[in-house]
Amino acid sequence: MNEFIRIEKLFCSLNKVQVLRNINISLNKSEFVSIIGPNGSGKTTLGKVVSGIIKQDSGDVFIDDKNIKDMSLPEIGRKIGYLFQNPDRQIFAPTVYEELSFAMKYKKTATDIIEKRVNEILNIFELSHLRDASTYSLSQGEKQRLALGAMLLNDPEYLILDEPTTGLDPKRKYELSKLLDSMVNRVGILLISHDKAFVLKHSHRIIELYDGSIINDKKN
């Protein structure tokens, strides 16, 4: 497989508390990896360090052989799409359509392509009826679907998804499953989740964290 992310001797603390201890992982494209572990084990912190959102104390993270210490946050964002556990933290546009179209407008994508791709995402996530709705009026599940859709429209090479099934009913969880299955041949996926059934269904590999350390890393 094609190694895309390499983590070496990573240590990270938050508010003077050690959260990650000596993490060493290689993550490949075309691979679905899940990180599991109890609350406070360091799962979300690890995802945020790899995404450049949190700075580590020591150790290195390489994305496509480039050290993230030498990359800006927008550079990392073009490579890695990060879905926050709380979608309110990444939705900023006033309407659903503006949120979905923002990245493509910023890249000066042709209007007809923007329309086509936004409509595809609206259909996939069953948000078509909310196209012009205020993002502040959405339910938690709708916000989750919108945040994921907006991230996918930015065409990242790797996805880090922090509890993406939160707020999804069984039907929409099934739709998310189909979408991720269709993408895993094109991008790498790192899932952070407590949803054991979802993890077992999709993962090629499961990494278990406990108290900031890797205690298990196995094929599924």
What pLDDT was estimated at residue 99? 96
Calculate Rg over the CA atoms of the chain. 17
More confident position, 184 or 94: 94
**Average pLDDT, integer, range 165-182:** 83
What pLDDT was estimated at residue 171? 83
Is pLDDT of 124 > 70? yes
Quote the domain boundaries for residue 125.
3-219
Is pLDDT of 2 > 80? no
What pLDDT was estimated at residue 126? 86
Written as six digits, the tokens of 52 are 């450049």
Of the pLDDT bands very low, low, confident and very high (cuts 50, 70, 90), residue 132 is very high
**Average pLDDT, integer, range 169-188:** 84
Written as six digits, the tokens of 112 are 């007809």
DSSP state letter for 166: T
Number of domains in the chain: 1
CATH number at residue 11: 3.40.50.300
Average pLDDT of the chain is: 92
Is pLDDT of 1 > 70? no
CA 107 to chain centre: 21
pLDDT tens-digit map of 50-71: 999 999 999 999 999 999 999 9
Of the pLDDT bands very low, low, confident and very high (cuts 50, 70, 90), residue 148 is confident
What pLDDT was estimated at residue 100? 96
Of the pLDDT bands very low, low, confident and very high (cuts 50, 70, 90), residue 27 is very high
pLDDT tens-digit map of 58-116: 999 999 999 999 999 989 998 999 998 888 889 999 999 999 999 899 889 999 999 99
| Cα separation, 208 vs 206, whole angstroms | 6
CA dihedral (184, 107, 142, 117) positive or negative: negative
Q: Is the CB of residue 11 less than 8 Å from the CB of residue 21?
A: yes
